[in-house]
Structure 1
Amino acid sequence: MESLKGFDIDIPRWDQSKFMGRLKHFFNITDCRTVLLPDSRLDEAKALVESCRAGSVPPGTTEEQLHYAKKLYDSAFHPDTGDRMNLIGRMSFQVPGGMAITGFMLQFYRTVPAVVFWQWVNQSFNALVNYTNRNAASPITPKQIGVAYVTATSTALATAVGLNLYTKNAPPLVARWVPFAAVAAANCVNIPMMRQQEILNGIAVTDEDGNTLGLSRKAAVKGITQVVISRVTMAAPGMIILPIIMQRLEKYRFMQKITFLHGPLQVMMVGVFLIFMVPAACSLFPQSCSMAVSKLEPELRESIISQYGGRVSYVYFNKGL
C-alpha cells in the first residue's frame, strides 16, 4: 500500500525514552491473551513482520495489522534469534504463571514442606523465564544452567526455611512476608547466574546507529542489575500488600467459614497486581540501555576513542528482560 511505504516496523509505537511510552509498549507485549493463540497464528505474524522488514508488505495490509503482528512477534519470538520462545518462559506468560505460583506461596507458608515445594516450583519457573529471555549472543552450557538453577533454588530454600524457623515467634504478618524475602534473595542469584557468560565475557555494545563497538562486562553488569531490580519490583506489591489484606480479611467470620477458598482468592488477587506490575516493572528502565564511554573498561574505551575520537560518547546494548 502506498501509505505504508517507508513504514519501519521495528520502531516502537510509543516513545521508549519516557516511562509512559515504555509502559504502553510492555502492556502491549505482555498481554497474557497472546499465550492462547496457536503457533500457526504466531508464525503468520512473524511472516508479516519479516515481509515488512524486506519492504514487501502484502497488498491490503493496514498499519494496525502491522502493529498487531509486531505485538505478537515481540511477545513470542526471541529478539536476538527470531526463534519462537517456549510458552512458559515468555513475558506474556508472567501473569498466569506468576499469579498461580505466588498465590500458593503466600497461602502455604506455615509448614517447611510446603515452603520447600512452592519455592522449588517458583525457582524452576524463574530459571526457565531467565533462560528464555537471556541475551542469545552469550551462549550458556547445560552445566552452567544446572549450576545456576541449583544455586538459586538453594538460596531461595535456605532463605525461606531459615526465616520461616526464625519467625516462628514473630507477629503473624512477618511470617507472611517470608516468601517475598526468599523470592528477592533468589532473584539476586538466579538472574546473574543464568546470565553469567555475559558478566564473564561481556555483551555487545553499539553506537546509536547500531554499529558494534566491542564487548563490555561493565555493560552486562549494569543491564543485569536493572533486570534484577525490575523482577523484585514486579513481585513486591503483591507479596507485601496482599499478606496485609489477607490478614485483615481472615478476621471476618465469613472468611473463616471459607478457608478452602483462601488459596484461589489469593491467586486471583495476585493476578490483579501482576496485570499492572509486569509491564510497570519491565518499564522501569529502557530496553535499549545506554552507558557513557567514560565508564567502560579502559581497553574498550581506548579502542572506541582511537577509532571514533570524541564522536561516540555513549554506547547502547539490550539489557534483556
Structure 2
Amino acid sequence: MDHNLLYWKDQGQSFLSRLRIWLNLLDPISLLSSDAEIQKAHTLLERAEKLNEEDGHALILSLSSVHADSGAALPLIFRPPAFFPISAPLVVASFLPHSSVKPALFWQFLLQSYSAGFNHANRNSSSEKDKKTSLKELLLLAGTVSYVTCAGALPQIFINRLGVRSAPIQTFLRSMLPIPLSAALAFFNVFTVRSEEAETGIHVFNSKGNLVGLSKAAGEKAVRETALSRAVLLGTTAAVPSLLVLLLKRTRLFQRNSLLVAPFRHISVALVLGLMIPTSFSLFPQLGTIRKENVEEELKAAAVDGQLYYHRGL
C-alpha cells in the first residue's frame, strides 16, 4: 500500500481530521513545485520510518500531487490544489443568466470537460498498471462531456426555444432548476467517467496494508461515494447563492440598487464553491472500507478483522 494511503488510514478516518488535512493540501502554492521535487518528496516519505516537522512540506506535496496508485505526479491542472482556481471561473460563468444558448453551451462545455478530466486523472487506477488510455475510455469521456454539456444548458434552451417571457418561470428555470440539475450532472459525470472501476474491480487491502485482490464491489462503492460527494459540491454551490439572491431581492437595498445582484451572485458562488471543495472532499475517507459480507466470496477469508480497505480516488 502506498505511503499516501497509509497516512490516510492513520490520520483520515474522521470527517474533521480529513477536513483539516484537505485545508492544508488545497494550498495553490504547491502547484509551483516541479515533478522532480514532487517525486523526491514522495520517495522521502516512503523511506522515512517516522515523520518529523521537517517532513511536513514533503507530506503535503506528496498527498496533493502524487497519485496513490501509480506513484506518479498528477497532471498540473488536475491536481487537487488546482481545482478551485480553474473551476471557480467556469462554475461562475456556467451559472450566469445567459441571453442565448451558445454561451450557455460554451461555458458548460468548458466546465464539464475539466470536471471529466479531473475525475479521470484522480480515479482509482490500481487495476490499470502500465495501461494507456484506451479508445473506449476516450469515447466514454467524449460522450459524457457531450451529454452533460447539452443537459447543463437545458434551462437556457427552454427559455430560448419556448420563448419564455414570464418572470416567475424564468426565475424557476434560471435559479431553481440548476440546483438539482447541477447535482445530477456532477454525479453522472463521475459515475460514467469512472465506470470501468466497477466493471473490472479495484485493489483491496487487509488491515496490514497487504494487497489481497480485485473487488468489483469496492469499485462500485468507491465510484458511488465520489459521485455523491461531487453532487453535494455542485448542488450546494448552485443552491446557496440562488436562495440568497432570492431573499436579498426582497430587501430595500437590492430593490433600490438592482445592479448589486449580479456581483453578489458571482462572489457568493465563488465563496460557496471554495468552502464546499474541502468539505466535499472530506465527506468520505480517501482510504475507504468495505465490510466482509459485501465483498466477493474469494476475498472474504482475507478480511480477518471484518473489513477490507480500498483507495476511493477523488
* Same fold by TM-score greater than 0.5: yes
Q: Is the 2:125–2:202 Cα contact (8 Å) retained in structure 1? A: no
Q: 1:150 aligns with which of 142, 149, 154?
A: 142
- Count of aligned positions: 297
- Report sequence identity in percent: 22
Q: 2:84 aligns with which of 95, 98, 107?
A: 95
TM-score, normalised to structure 1's length? 0.81
- Quick one: which amino acid aligns to residue 237 of structure 2? G
Alignment match, 1:192: 191
- Quick one: which amino acid aligns to residue 30 of structure 1? L
- Quick one: which amino acid aligns to residue 50 of structure 1? T
Is the alpha carbon distance of 1:64 and 1:249 closer, same or farther for their aligned partners in structure 2, counting shifts above 3 Å?
same
Tell me the CA shift for residue 94 of structure 1: 1.6
Tell me the CA shift for residue 218 of structure 1: 1.1
Alignment match, 1:22: 18
Tell me the CA shift for residue 154 of structure 1: 3.0
Alignment match, 2:152: 160
Tell me the CA shift for residue 73 of structure 1: 1.8
Residues 257-302 of structure 1: per-residue CA shift (max 9 Å, x gap)? x78xx36x5444333222221111111111111111211233x34x
1:294 has 2:293 as partner: yes
Is the alpha carbon distance of 1:114 and 1:55 closer, same or farther for their aligned partners in structure 2, counting shifts above 3 Å?
closer
1:119 has 2:108 as partner: yes
1:68 has 2:61 as partner: no
Is the alpha carbon distance of 1:247 and 1:162 closer, same or farther for their aligned partners in structure 2, counting shifts above 3 Å?
same
- Quick one: which amino acid aligns to residue 24 of structure 2? N
Residues 34-77 of structure 1: per-residue CA shift (max 9 Å, x gap)? 23x242xx6335424423432499xxxx9223112110221122
What are the residue-to-residue correspondences of 1:1-321 with 2, within 5 Å?
Answer: 11-12=7-8, 15-35=11-31, 37-39=32-34, 43-44=36-37, 46-55=39-48, 63-139=52-128, 141-166=133-158, 168=164, 169=166, 170-247=169-246, 251-256=254-259, 262=262, 266-298=265-297, 300-301=298-299, 304-305=300-301, 311-321=304-314
Alignment match, 1:3: none
- Quick one: which amino acid aligns to residue 16 of structure 1? G
CA RMSD of aligned residues (A): 2.9
Q: Is the 2:90–2:107 Cα contact (8 Å) retained in structure 1? A: yes
Q: Which runs of 5+ in 2 are unaligned?
A: none
Q: Which runs of 5+ in 1 are unaligned?
A: 1-7
Q: Is the 2:140–2:192 Cα contact (8 Å) retained in structure 1? A: yes
Tell me the CA shift for residue 255 of structure 1: 4.0
Tell me the CA shift for residue 201 of structure 1: 0.9
Is the alpha carbon distance of 1:179 and 1:150 closer, same or farther for their aligned partners in structure 2, counting shifts above 3 Å?
farther
- Quick one: which amino acid aligns to residue 26 of structure 1? W
Query: SS in structure 2 opposite 1:107?
Result: coil
Q: Higher mean Cα deviation, 156-165 or 223-232?
A: 156-165
CA distance in 2, matches of 1:294, 1:13: 21
CA distance in 2, matches of 1:291, 1:77: 24
CA distance in 1, matches of 2:256, 2:76: 41
CA distance in 1, matches of 2:10, 2:274: 20
Tell me the CA shift for residue 160 of structure 1: 3.0
- Quick one: which amino acid aligns to residue 287 of structure 1? Q
Is the alpha carbon distance of 1:52 and 1:175 closer, same or farther for their aligned partners in structure 2, counting shifts above 3 Å?
closer
Q: Is the 1:288–1:316 Cα contact (8 Å) retained in structure 2? A: yes
Q: Higher mean Cα deviation, 184-193 or 95-104?
A: 184-193
Query: SS in structure 1 opposite 2:289?
Result: strand
Q: Is the 1:157–1:182 Cα contact (8 Å) retained in structure 2? A: no
Q: Is the 1:133–1:320 Cα contact (8 Å) retained in structure 2? A: yes
CA distance in 2, matches of 1:117, 1:319: 31
Q: Higher mean Cα deviation, 134-143 or 287-296?
A: 134-143
Q: Higher mean Cα deviation, 236-245 or 199-208?
A: 236-245
Tell me the CA shift for residue 80 of structure 1: 1.6
CA distance in 2, matches of 1:207, 1:78: 20
Q: Higher mean Cα deviation, 74-83 or 131-140?
A: 131-140
TM-score, normalised to structure 2's length? 0.83
